Amino acid sequence: MRIGRKITSGKYHKSRKKKKYELPGLERKVRLREIKKKKIRILGGGKKIVLLSADYANVFDPKTKKSKKVKINNVLETPANKFLARENVLVKGAIIETELGKARISNRPSQEGSVNAELLY
């Protein structure tokens, strides 16, 4: 059987086009560079500040229970996709090298406007 065809070899036609809210948005990759933010309109007319690039992270130290703003030196590994680490893309779960040591990103920087991480020992 041919894919996308009926048994009689006729075509399947879509009942309608996609609505605007069903269309995919632009992919935002947060890179390791000087900080850059952008305001976008969200569904319902609200505003969201998204991150396009960042060079600092709010790192939480579980031993002292304190947070500190530190510079990000490098992206070491990304469990989701190894190629993202090569491009220095900041995503949730990525292991980054900071001035305090290794840390894991605990939020979604492309949606929240900041990078939050937790120190690893």
| 8 Å CB contact between 27 and 84 | no
pLDDT of residue 2: 63
Q: What is the pTM of this model?
A: 0.81
- Give 69's Cβ-side CA count (13 Å radius): 4
Helix (H) or strand (E) holding 61: strand 56-61
Q: How far apart are CA 79 and CA 48, in angstroms?
A: 27
pLDDT of residue 26: 83
Q: Which residues of the chain have pLDDT under 70?
A: 1-2
| 8 Å CB contact between 87 and 32 | no
Q: How far apart are CA 119 and CA 31, in angstroms?
A: 20
Per CATH, the number for 28-119 is: 3.10.290.70
pLDDT of residue 95: 97
